[in-house]
């Protein structure tokens, strides 16, 4: 039996073993979403190149490890099915299992295993718990040659309609409470002053990053911002601060490469697109996402409005984007939802007040 065939058999066994985790009451509802995501990737990618799948970790996604394993298994199943089993998909868990067995029994060609394990494309899965279920997006990254980190395609955000509390024991309200707790921790740590020598939490890394930035120690500030944002918290001002420092340190082009290759793939999908727009993606691309209602993240809409000159004289896509952005940002600003996405809530005022002023004219656009 060839090594590739052996991997395929392990992959199938793994998929079958994981399938029992999902309750039949909602598994069928999710299948169409998995298939839609898979079809998008198959349409956009060279399926004969070696691909591997990786998901955010439990501490980054706020979701149980067993569910994340099952999520990957279902996506693999859909990718295999939708490609008529032509996709060259590497199951990372299978590779790791074979590698461990080879070490234990000393009975395999290590170079051959390494060759099979190496991927050309990484499919990075970003799931996040929200009130209506789980939002999921998949971004494909180039892993070969000088283009490592280049984004090849993205599925956009899709909803898996899961009752999180009953199915997974995840209470979304708790996630929002955790964001409030982080803000309180940042405020308390800020009162004490001084660099924390061995930071371990979001608040401690963020505190250190701000102090290093004030001192002009850019590299240390960047390092601490990187650690702070490597979580599931949807705070946008640390992203702005990190990218502004990166531009000062590396220049605009260098900062874009730094963001794409080192930062983006570890962020929740909302922060990925926010970072894209902040670091220089086309405003028309943002307008299309907002106009088609593919994105409803109010800080992203606020950033779009602040960076665009206005809807008058613009084409229909821009006008529709402005209408949607005005309504959502104005609503979230009034309820305090917009402010909750900022560590420093005052930084939400510019976009909130802009939307408030435009809200009187939205019906005339």
304-329 confidence digits (pLDDT tens): 999 887 777 668 888 899 999 999 99
Confidence of residue 26 (pLDDT cuts 50, 70, 90): low
Q: Does domain 172-263+273-278 have CATH number 1.10.287?
A: no
Average pLDDT value for residue range 19-27: 47
Residue 56 CA to residue 265 CA, distance in Å, equals 9
Nearest to 176 by CA among 66, 326, 339, 294: 339
Query: What is 3-168's CATH topology?
Result: Rossmann fold (3.40.50)
DSSP string, 282-324: -HHHHHHHHHTTS---HHHHHHHHHHS--STT--HHHHHHHHH
Confidence of residue 19 (pLDDT cuts 50, 70, 90): very low
Hey, how many other C-beta atoms are within 10 angstroms of the C-beta on 30? 19
Average pLDDT value for residue range 209-232: 91
Hey, how many other C-beta atoms are within 10 angstroms of the C-beta on 191? 6
Confidence of residue 22 (pLDDT cuts 50, 70, 90): very low
Alpha helices, DSSP H only, in 171-315?
A: 172-192, 202-215, 218-229, 237-258, 269-279, 283-291, 298-307
pLDDT in tens, 92-124: 544 444 444 444 444 444 444 444 457 888 888
- Report the percentage of the chain scoring pLDDT > 90: 37
pLDDT averaged over every residue in the chain: 80
- Does 157 score more than 90 pLDDT? no
Output 241 or 315, whichever has higher pLDDT: 241
Check if the beta carbon of residue 126 is closer than 8 Å to that of residue 272. yes
Domain boundaries, the chain: 3-168, 172-263+273-278, 283-364
Output 362 or 99, whichever has higher pLDDT: 362
Question: How far is residue 44 from each of residues 34, 47, 52, 137, 152, measured CA to CA in Å?
Answer: 16, 9, 16, 15, 8
Average pLDDT value for residue range 252-256: 92
- Does 67 score more than 60 pLDDT? yes
What's the pLDDT score for residue 94? Answer: 45
What's the pLDDT score for residue 13? Answer: 40
Return the CA Rg of the chain: 22
First to last CA, the chain: 66
Output 239 or 170, whichever has higher pLDDT: 239
Residue 38 CA to residue 128 CA, distance in Å, equals 18
């Amino acid at each position: 039996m060839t090594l590739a065939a052996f991997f395929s058999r392990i992959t199938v066994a793994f998929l079958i073993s994981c399938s029992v985790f999902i309750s039949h009451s909602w598994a069928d509802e999710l299948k169409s979403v998995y298939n839609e995501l898979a079809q998008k990737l198959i349409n956009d990618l060279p399926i004969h190149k070696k691909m591997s799948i990786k998901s955010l970790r439990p501490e980054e996604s706020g979701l149980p490890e067993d569910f994340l394993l099952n999520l990957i298994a279902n996506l693999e199943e859909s990718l295999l099915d939708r490609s008529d089993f032509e996709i060259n998909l590497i199951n990372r868990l299978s590779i790791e299992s074979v590698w461990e067995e080879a070490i234990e029994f000393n009975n395999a060609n290590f170079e051959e295993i390494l060759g099979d394990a190496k991927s050309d494309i990484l499919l990075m899965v970003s799931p996040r718990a929200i009130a209506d279920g789980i939002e999921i997006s998949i971004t494909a990254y180039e892993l070969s040659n000088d283009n490592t980190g280049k984004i090849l395609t993205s599925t956009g955000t899709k909803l898996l309609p899961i009752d999180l509390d009953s199915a997974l024991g995840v209470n979304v309200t708790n996630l929002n409470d955790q964001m409030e707790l982080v803000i309180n921790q940042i405020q308390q740590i800020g009162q004490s002053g001084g660099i924390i020598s061995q930071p371990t939490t979001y608040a401690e890394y963020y505190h250190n990053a701000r102090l290093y930035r004030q001192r002009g120690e850019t590299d240390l500030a960047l390092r601490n911002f990187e650690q702070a944002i490597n979580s599931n918290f949807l705070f946008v001002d640390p992203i702005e601060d990190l990218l502004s420092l990166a531009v000062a340190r590396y220049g605009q082009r260098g900062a874009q490469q730094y963001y794409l290759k080192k930062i983006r793939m570890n962020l929740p999908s909302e922060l990925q697109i926010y970072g894209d727009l902040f670091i220089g993606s086309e405003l028309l691309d943002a307008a299309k996402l907002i106009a088609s209602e593919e994105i409803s993240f109010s800080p992203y809409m606020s950033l779009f409005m602040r960076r665009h000159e206005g809807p008058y004289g613009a084409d229909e896509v821009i006008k529709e984007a402005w209408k949607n952005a005005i309504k959502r940002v104005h609503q979230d600003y009034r309820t305090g939802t917009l402010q909750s996405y900022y560590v420093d809530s005052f930084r939400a005022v510019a976009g909130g007040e802009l939307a408030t002023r435009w809200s009187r004219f939205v019906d005339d656009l």
